[in-house]
Amino acid sequence: QKEVEQNSGPLSVPEGAIASLNCTYSDRVSQSFFWYRQYSGKSPELIMSIYSNGDKEDGRFTAQLNKASQYVSLLIRDSQPSDSATYLCAATQGGSEKLVFGKGMKLTVNP
């Protein structure tokens, strides 16, 4: 099992819809979880971090963490064409600073 797994995608949603992105992780002692957005040809930019069980909201973005089930999700409300990008899930591993990423999910928001 890979350390961090994301649905292979791609995901396509209409403008204004909710986009849901999911991620699972294998290391039960992982402590920190992150969502990054990467536009084509650019470097990843951090959009959300979450460290404890539950929901964390920031504008149109909501991150959800369930440590018992070992999954993290990202919801994007009122999706905009500018949200079209690849979304990467990341987690720290083994109680260390080792930060590993999933393969990413490409999201397209259609006008």
Partner 1 sequence: DGGITQSPKYLFRKEGQNVTLSCEQNLNHDAMYWYRQDPGQGLRLIYYSQIVNDFQKGDIAEGYSVSREKKESFPLTVTSAQKNPTAFYLCASSNTGFTEAFFGQGTRLTVV
Site residues (vs partner 1, CB under 8 A): 6, 31-32, 34, 42-46, 49, 51, 88, 90, 92, 96-104
Question: 90 or 107, CB closer to partner 1?
Answer: 90
Question: 19 or 47, CB closer to partner 1?
Answer: 47
Longest dimension (CA), the chain: 43
Contacting residues for 57 by C-beta, under 8 A, at least 6 apart = none
3-class state of residue 80 by DSSP: coil
Length of the chain: 111
For the bound state, the minimum distance from the C-beta of residue 20 to partner 1, rounded and expressed in Å, comes to 19
Beta bridge partners of 55: 64
For the bound state, the minimum distance from the C-beta of residue 18 to partner 1, rounded and expressed in Å, comes to 24
- What is the helix (H) or strand (E) element at residue 75, kind and residue range? strand 71-76
For the bound state, the minimum distance from the C-beta of residue 100 to partner 1, rounded and expressed in Å, comes to 6
Question: 15 or 57, CB closer to partner 1?
Answer: 57
